[in-house]
Amino acid sequence: MRMLEHTNVLKLKHCFYSTAEKDEVYLNLVLEFVPETVYRVSKHYVRMHQHMPIIYVQLYTYQICRGLNYLHHVVGVCHRDIKPQNLLVNPACHQLKICDFGSAKMLLPGEPNISYICSRYYRAPELIFGATEYTTAIDVWSAGCVLAELLLGQPLFPGESGVDQLVEIIKILGTPTREEIKCMNPNYSEFKFPQIKAHPWHKIFHKSMPSEAVDLVSRMLQYSPNLRCTALDACAHSFP
């Protein structure tokens, strides 16, 4: 974390070790203080029976993607746990910072990674399919789920288990093609899914939703990781 230096990434101020009664050693991190999370801000509007103002959704989306672009292309790190609880917000100025790098990793070509990573609602389909050589595109999927959640006021894919998570995704994106499954995990051989058509994106969101917002969600939530827009592409999109 010491090498992370970006306006949209939480800053490590200091670190030190301490010991407990059983001679266990603990690493203590001193981080900059940011009082709120995107999760709590979103829940505030839900309790008020309101949707988050689009201007805030745009602000948060841009900053998430800006921070991810820095992590992916400047530092070479995949966060692997992007979710509303890990996005801190200063309510005074709406500055957003990505936090919690406990699952973060530099993804090296040819080096296997664990697939059981990332919180369920925000887990990319290639992870559900057991891929171990995934890319930073898993963070873009997670960010797309966060964007959709801010627009809807509730999670887009609220799966109750790992398998159910895939069912929730298929309900909206439709059944993945054989080629899409190959792109997600070339080693996945089992292909027995009921054929379900994709649900049109414009029917998922309220008709008053800006078309640019729906378009960005659709670009971030593609089955094939190589077809998803990058974090930088999302920053340059007309919505945020």
Helix (H, G, I), strand (E, B) or coil at 148: helix
Residue 218 has pLDDT above 80, yes or no: yes
Mean pLDDT of 102-121: 91
Backbone φ and ψ for 38, nearest 5 degrees, come out as -60, -35
In the prediction, which pLDDT does 162 show?
84
In the prediction, which pLDDT does 23 show?
82
Q: Which residues pair with 105 in a beta bridge?
A: 78
In the prediction, which pLDDT does 20 show?
83
Q: Please, which pLDDT band fits residue 21 given cuts at 50, 70 and 90?
A: confident
Task: Identify the DSSP state of 136.
Answer: T
Residue 192 has pLDDT above 80, yes or no: no
Q: Which residues pair with 163 in a beta bridge?
A: none
Number of H helices, E strands in the chain: 9, 5
Helix (H, G, I), strand (E, B) or coil at 215: helix
CA-angle at 186, arms to 181 and 188, nearest 5°: 70
The share of the chain scoring above pLDDT 90, in percent, equals 79
In the prediction, which pLDDT does 236 show?
97
Please state the length of the chain: 240
The answer to whether residue 81 is catalytic is yes
Mean pLDDT, the chain, integer:
94
Q: Which of 81, 100, 164, 233 is an active site residue?
A: 81
Tokens matching residue 58: 């745009």
Q: Please, which pLDDT band fits residue 80 given cuts at 50, 70 and 90?
A: very high
Mean pLDDT of 179-204: 87
In the prediction, which pLDDT does 110 show?
85
Mean pLDDT of 74-92: 96
CB burial of residue 142 (10 Å; 0-12, 13-18, 19+): buried
Mean pLDDT of 26-43: 94
Please, what CATH class does the domain formed by 35-236 belong to? mainly alpha
Domain extents in the chain? 35-236
Residue 136 has pLDDT above 80, yes or no: yes
In the prediction, which pLDDT does 71 show?
97
